[in-house]
Structure formats: C-alpha cells, structure tokens
Amino acid sequence: MENGDTKLAGTEKSRLEEKQRGIRRYREKNGIEETPVYFKLSAEENGNPHYEYLGGYWEDRKKGDWSKLPDIYGEDFVDETTPFKGNI
C-alpha cells in the first residue's frame, strides 16, 4: 500500500487473513488455547476483560526476535492439519 500497489496490498491482506484462519482452525482442532505473549488476563474491570502488559515486546522488537509468535508472514500456508511454529 505504501508503494501505491493496491492490488498487491489486497492480495497480501487476503493471504495473511487466510493464514490466521488456518492457525485458528489448527488450534481449535487440536484443543490448543491461544494465549497472548505480551499480556495476561487480569481481573475484570466493570464487567470487561482487562489485559495486563507483561513486558518483553520492546526488547523483542529491538532484537527483531519474533520467535514467540506464529509466523503469519512466511510463505508457507498453515491449515488446520499443519503444525506451525510460534506461540502454541
């Protein structure tokens, strides 16, 4: 999008969304609960879930270390039967 290529941006958006759906289906099929990497669910406030920052994001960003996260940007497609690396 930044380069003005809206067609490529739309294609990439769709690819990322499909990969995220595949990861979600894989987790559901295998009974894997998704847990945030940098946050934890704390006591609810006013009936709404409240997430508390655990730290580590800025350090990982500085190092460029995203190994704790699912690889949604890689070329490999993840479907509900394909194991994936990352936070599982």
Where do the structural domains in the chain lie, given as residue ranges? 1-88
Find all residues with CB under 8 Å of 88, minimum gap 6, and list them. 27, 32, 70
Rounded Cα distance between 42 and 27, Å, is: 23
The pLDDT tens digits along the chain (88 residues) read 778 899 999 998 998 898 888 888 888 888 888 888 999 988 777 888 888 999 999 999 999 998 888 777 776 665 555 655 554 4
| Amino acid, res. 59 | E
Rounded Cα distance between 10 and 8, Å, is: 5
| pTM of the predicted protein model | 0.59
